[in-house]
Amino acid sequence: MRVPLSWLHEYVKPDLDAAALAERLALTGTEVERVVHHGVLSVEGFVIGRVLSAERHPDADRLNVCRVDLGGAEPAQIVCGAPNVAAGQTVAVAQPGAVMPDGTRLRKAKLRGVESAGMILSEPELEIGVERAGIMVLGLDGGKPAPGTPLADVLPLATDVLELEVTPNRPDCLGVYGVAREAHAATGAPLAPAPWSEDVGTGGPVEGAAVAVETDRCKRFMARVFEGVTVGPSPPWLKARLMAAGMRPISNVVDVTNYAMLLTGQPLHAFDLDRVAGGRLVVRDGQAGDELETLDGERRRLDPEMVVICDADGPTSLAGVMGGARSEVHAGTTRVLLESAVWDGPNIQRTSTRLGLRSEASGRYEKGLAPEQAQDALALATRLLVELCGARVAPGTIDVDPPGGRDRTNRTIRLRDARVSGLLGAPVARERSAEILSALGFLVDQADDGLDVTVPAFRRNDVTREADLIEEVARIDGVDKLPATLPASGLAVGRLTPAQRLRRRAADTLAGAGLHEAIGWSWSAPELADRLRLAHDDPRRAAVVVENPMSADHAQMRTTLLGSLLDVARRNVTHGTGDVAIFEAGAVYRPVAGRELPDEPYTVGVLLTGAVRAPSWREPAPPAADFFAAKGVLAALLGALRVAWALEPAGEPFMHPGRAAAIVLGGADGERIGWIGELHPSVAAAWELSGAVAAFELDLDRAIEQVPGPVRYTDYTSFPEVRQDLAVVVPQAVAAAEVVAAVRAAGGPLLARVEVFDVYRGAQVGADEVSLALRLAFRSPERTLTDEEVAERRAAIEAALAEQVGGRIRA
């Protein structure tokens, strides 16, 4: 909403410059996006001139050399290119030194060898109209204005303009007078009477025109008939005001409707009454087959949810959005039917969205206007049509309510003093509340414990409860001056839950291990499942589908983090960062049969590719990330959470068949919570990744559920540990985990720890054998172990290795 300050000042004139007024409005709830300047920057050098003579330029057919009286001793010589310049005209002149709206400073110049001391102006050059065909010829009334008169005395040359962002609850501020009321309340400056207070029209029946309303989507339909209309250009002041407010002048009749809309917030529409077939309008819902050519020349197909205004020949106007071409006011129009109607806001919004057609009118209607406003705008426009278009207003006013009747709610709400201070945390004097509410147009009566406040029609939808009144008082009195306090109860106890702390710990562990956290999109492409080669019945193919995605790549919710991790890896590799170590922690989305909302398990994914460390002079070629690099990260992650876990060889369709495993909780056969491995090279290639790509993904919430409570202290000082090493040769097919499991089972409770610390393949063992070096630690919490006890356990372990995994002890 553009509000020219010069226009606003007709109704309220606070002693504040544009910036200060903007700030005051912003702090009372009317956001000012910016303050702009419209028109010339300075009125200096712009004067009235009279053309004394205009003669053809000796060397240029299109130029005239004019002698122009500017009120000085000698007329000025001005070269003018406009075809319509002629002796006797009163014109607007910019003298040398004047600064045009675009910032150029005018100088004396020679045009084809002839001196020119200024410029005779057209409307667009002053930003006060759009007539480009020639210079602006001003009317002359009894010798006035006299040559040399400052142009600013005659035309509105410059104004600051407030660009307001009006919140959807305040359609009353979509008119200049509504903004004036707001400025009046915000600054205390007096408010002039409403411009519609004086109505030159009359009530009662109208002859020669009729309206029927058949739908409740019309909230009120008012109209008047005007005869003897002369369509032509509007006077310069009106054009200038529309231009400053951001609308193009068209013709006096249309300009009057726009002017009244800009001032009152209520849109109007003028029909050429001679083009209303049958002289009768019917307002109804659209029907199948309804079509209409709107003013912009487009043919529109209507649907039953749209409201249309019809005459005897069918649809002639699209209610609340745009008039029809067939009944448009034109140069020869002499009889006008002026519509001032109110429509259902949401319906207008739907229609304008559906048709992709937004207008100044629809933008106002969709916020929901009060039926009472139709009367105000009609009164104002009546006066202007009579004054500016030579029209006579026919007796009577058409005023039709919808079949269900019109909203006449007249609400009175008690505003309790105690409630005001109780909600705000600071008192506001009752007199101050009354003053504020009166300034905003509310009626105020005293009550025992506060005020009885009656809501004006134009705030009917917005103010319905005591809290709404408190907001009105608070915003005008100034929320910025409230004290800053903290809640007093002291009942609040802040903490993170154990699960939240463990999620943080997991992320910190990964970051500490050198990984960077990425945040991918929650969406994925449906083709991702194919690129990951998921089987047709893989549960990860079942996704939550977005009905209106912004792109095909984001058409469904992700069921795995792998897609976004690969996207991030590709992006970095193609941008020259080949060594990537990243993780993401967040939701994946799994539809659940029979439930409205999906599961959103908190999942963590890790991806490594390229060198695991930066090269250095000690290690010029550090190893590339592989399965064991990822497993090391996994061990760090689950170790930090103190969760027991294991890997079981198991494939995933997107992984290297020999380097993949399932992550299980507890020991073997525990619950599967994820996968780990190197990606299948052909899957990695689909993301343009050529080296090994190691990754894992697991359901972190499931892991966190397994985190034991507080760890209990284990005595490590009273009885020493006995450490021994053991080397065992086993067939290559035997997994290290099987060897460890056999050792653990045979070692019994006295075996505190066992770990693999070396792996050897080569000349000293058979071709299909591998030697594992194990470190064993024996300990009893109750006594110091004897050599015999340890030897017995070791013998049992050696026997178990021989028996269960075909192991042979190496000397």
Partner 1 sequence: MIERIDALRGEGEAAIAAAATTDALEQARIHYLGRRAELPNLLRGVAQLPPEQRGAVGKAANVARKALEQLIEARGAELAGAELERQLAEDRIDVTLPGAPLPPAGGLHLLNATRREIEDVFVGLGYTVAEGPEVERVYYNFDALNHDPAHPARLRTDTFYVADDVVLRTHTSPMQVRAMEQHPPPIFLIVPGRVYRRDSDATHTPQFHQIEGLAVDEDITLSDLKGTLLAFARAIFGDERQVRLRPHFFPFTEPSVEVDVSCFNCKDGLTREGARCPLCKGTGWIEILGAGMVDPNVFGYVREHGYDPERIQGFAFGMGVERIAFLKHGVSDLRLFYDNDLRFLEQF
Interface of this chain with partner 1, residues 151 to 180, rule: CB under 8 A: 167-170
- Taking the C-alpha atoms of residue 648 and residue 670, their distance in angstroms, rounded to an integer, is 10
Comparing CB distances to partner 1, the nearer of 170 and 335 is 170
Inter-residue contact 272 to 336 (CB < 8 Å): yes
Give me the least distance between CB of 69 and partner 1, in Å please.
Answer: 45
Give me the least distance between CB of 554 and partner 1, in Å please.
Answer: 8
The region of 510-518, 679-687, 713-721, 772-780 touching partner 1 under the rule CB under 8 A is 510-518
By CB under 8 A, residue 474 contacts partner 1: yes
Stretch 351-380: interaction string toward partner 1, x if CB under 8 A:
--x---------------------------
Comparing CB distances to partner 1, the nearer of 411 and 761 is 411
Cis peptide before 145 (omega within 30 of 0): yes
By CB under 8 A, residue 596 contacts partner 1: yes
Inter-residue contact 730 to 805 (CB < 8 Å): yes
The residue within the footprint of partner 1, chosen from 132, 330, 411, 504 (CB under 8 A), is: 504
Give the Å distances, CA to CA, from 391 to 139, 251, 405, 742.
Answer: 20, 14, 32, 107
The residue within the footprint of partner 1, chosen from 486, 711, 763, 811 (CB under 8 A), is: 486
Q: Is 105 exposed, middle or buried (0-12, 13-18, 19+ CB in 10 A)?
A: exposed
By CB under 8 A, residue 682 contacts partner 1: no
By CB under 8 A, residue 557 contacts partner 1: yes
The residue within the footprint of partner 1, chosen from 480, 715, 768, 788 (CB under 8 A), is: 480
Comparing CB distances to partner 1, the nearer of 475 and 540 is 475
- Taking the C-alpha atoms of residue 327 and residue 754, their distance in angstroms, rounded to an integer, is 94
Give the Å distances, CA to CA, from 348 to 173, 220, 284, 309, 698.
Answer: 19, 14, 14, 14, 50
By CB under 8 A, residue 522 contacts partner 1: yes
By CB under 8 A, residue 495 contacts partner 1: yes
Site residues (CB under 8 A) for partner 1, limited to 408-437 = 422-426
The residue within the footprint of partner 1, chosen from 225, 355, 415, 510 (CB under 8 A), is: 510
Comparing CB distances to partner 1, the nearer of 261 and 470 is 470
The residue within the footprint of partner 1, chosen from 288, 331, 488, 811 (CB under 8 A), is: 488
The region of 206-214, 283-291, 507-515, 780-788 touching partner 1 under the rule CB under 8 A is 507-515
Comparing CB distances to partner 1, the nearer of 489 and 682 is 489
Inter-residue contact 191 to 184 (CB < 8 Å): yes
What value does the CA radius of gyration of the chain take, rounded to a whole number of Å?
Answer: 42
Comparing CB distances to partner 1, the nearer of 484 and 763 is 484
β 516-517/580-587 pair status: parallel
By CB under 8 A, residue 16 contacts partner 1: no
Cis peptide before 147 (omega within 30 of 0): no
By CB under 8 A, residue 544 contacts partner 1: yes
By CB under 8 A, residue 487 contacts partner 1: yes
- Taking the C-alpha atoms of residue 314 and residue 308, their distance in angstroms, rounded to an integer, is 9
Give me the least distance between CB of 119 and partner 1, in Å please.
Answer: 34
Give me the least distance between CB of 568 and partner 1, in Å please.
Answer: 4
- Taking the C-alpha atoms of residue 432 and residue 424, their distance in angstroms, rounded to an integer, is 15
- Taking the C-alpha atoms of residue 399 and residue 300, their distance in angstroms, rounded to an integer, is 28
Comparing CB distances to partner 1, the nearer of 209 and 525 is 525
Inter-residue contact 41 to 185 (CB < 8 Å): no
- Taking the C-alpha atoms of residue 182 and residue 172, their distance in angstroms, rounded to an integer, is 10
Locate 759 and state its tokens: 């792996």
Inter-residue contact 681 to 656 (CB < 8 Å): yes
Site residues (CB under 8 A) for partner 1, limited to 27-66 = 27-29, 31
Contact residues for 247 (Cβ-Cβ < 8 A; gap 6+)? 258, 262, 360
The residue within the footprint of partner 1, chosen from 24, 533, 554, 744 (CB under 8 A), is: 554
By CB under 8 A, residue 516 contacts partner 1: yes
Binding-site residue total for partner 1 (CB under 8 A)?
A: 91
By CB under 8 A, residue 616 contacts partner 1: yes
- Taking the C-alpha atoms of residue 456 and residue 372, their distance in angstroms, rounded to an integer, is 10
By CB under 8 A, residue 212 contacts partner 1: no
By CB under 8 A, residue 598 contacts partner 1: yes
Inter-residue contact 307 to 345 (CB < 8 Å): no
- Phi then psi dihedrals of residue 797, to 5 deg: -65, -45
The residue within the footprint of partner 1, chosen from 73, 133, 331, 493 (CB under 8 A), is: 493
By CB under 8 A, residue 497 contacts partner 1: yes
Give me the least distance between CB of 702 and partner 1, in Å please.
Answer: 16
126: left (phi over 0), alpha (psi -120 to 50) or beta: alpha
